[in-house]
Amino acid sequence: MSTPDPSALAALAAAWSLYFCLHSLLASSRLKALVSTRCPRFAPGYRIAYNAVALVALAPVLWLQWRLAGPPLADWPLALRTAADLAALAALGAFGWTLRWYDLRAFAGLRAEVAGDAAGFVLSPLHRHVRHPWYFLALVVVWTRPMDAAWLVASVAITAYLVVGSRLEDRKLVEAFGEAYARYRERVPGLWPWPGRSLSAAEAAGWVQRWRATPDLSRADQ
């Protein structure tokens, strides 16, 4: 097993970049609105089609990632390797735990999403500490895997996408939930928990309750 040459790593970086560009394009509100306007019959199935295309397009990128796997860049001590594996397992467990607070039917495209629906403004326990818990957990998994040259390229590409994607997601959520999400964004960090920037359980519950009772939080106390 040898380290891939720079041209192969550049091709891998390009593959990840193209995939993320496609993913962002398909997820954009503008494209969804265009489809709803031009092809209204297709609109109800857009989310399912989007998920299917995203999975199919990811397959060749993962294949290239596998083909370019090489020797580790560093020999981690057993204690550090074990700690990294435990962190990754904890992140995967936390991901499964958070699913109870998500509308998986809407996420899969089996139920229509309603923008601005008060019931859709939910703050799970992890949302009290970070606005995008799935992105945070993904970063933990990505950066705790054995690091070879190809995985380093993938890790940088994935991290860059999650940073940009979190900002695009924030923009869409502000459009959907208005002042409620804007205030939440000011209080809680986006990708990485930070001391002093969390909501207590009582604060989160009260915030969501006020939002559902009065969607225009510009009239409510923070």
Query: From residue 77, how far is each of 17, 82, 149 by CA, in Å?
Result: 32, 9, 19
Residues 2-13, mean pLDDT to the nearest whole number = 91
| pLDDT at 190 (0 to 100) | 94
Q: Is 129 in contact with 193 (CB distance < 8 Å)?
A: yes
| pLDDT at 181 (0 to 100) | 84
| Domains in the chain: boundaries | 6-219
109 Rama sector, left if φ>0, alpha if ψ -120 to 50, beta otherwise: left
Query: From residue 59, how far is each of 14, 55, 64, 135 by CA, in Å?
Result: 15, 7, 9, 20
In sequence order, the 6+-apart residues with CB closer than 8 A to the CB of 51 are 108, 109
d(CA 187, CA 184): 5
The pLDDT of residue 45 is above 90 = no
Q: What is the pTM of this model?
A: 0.86
Residue 151 banded pLDDT, cuts 50, 70, 90: very high
Q: How large a percentage of the chain has pLDDT more than 90?
A: 55
The pLDDT of residue 8 is above 70 = yes
Residues 164-185, mean pLDDT to the nearest whole number = 87
Burial of 149 (0-12, 13-18, 19+ CB in 10 A): buried
Mean pLDDT of the chain, nearest integer? 87
Tokens of residue 102, six digits? 């998500």
Find tokens 């860059």 and name the residue: 160
CATH architecture under which domain 6-219 falls = Up-down Bundle (1.20)
Bridge partners, 72 (sequence order): 148
Which range among 67-76, 108-117, 173-182 shows the weakest confidence by mean pLDDT? Answer: 108-117
Residue 2 banded pLDDT, cuts 50, 70, 90: confident
Query: From residue 66, how far is each of 12, 38, 154, 196 by CA, in Å?
Result: 10, 40, 11, 41
| pLDDT at 78 (0 to 100) | 94
Residue 113 banded pLDDT, cuts 50, 70, 90: low
pLDDT digits (tens, 9 = 90+) for 67-112: 999 999 988 999 999 999 999 999 999 999 999 888 777 777 666 6
| pLDDT at 221 (0 to 100) | 38
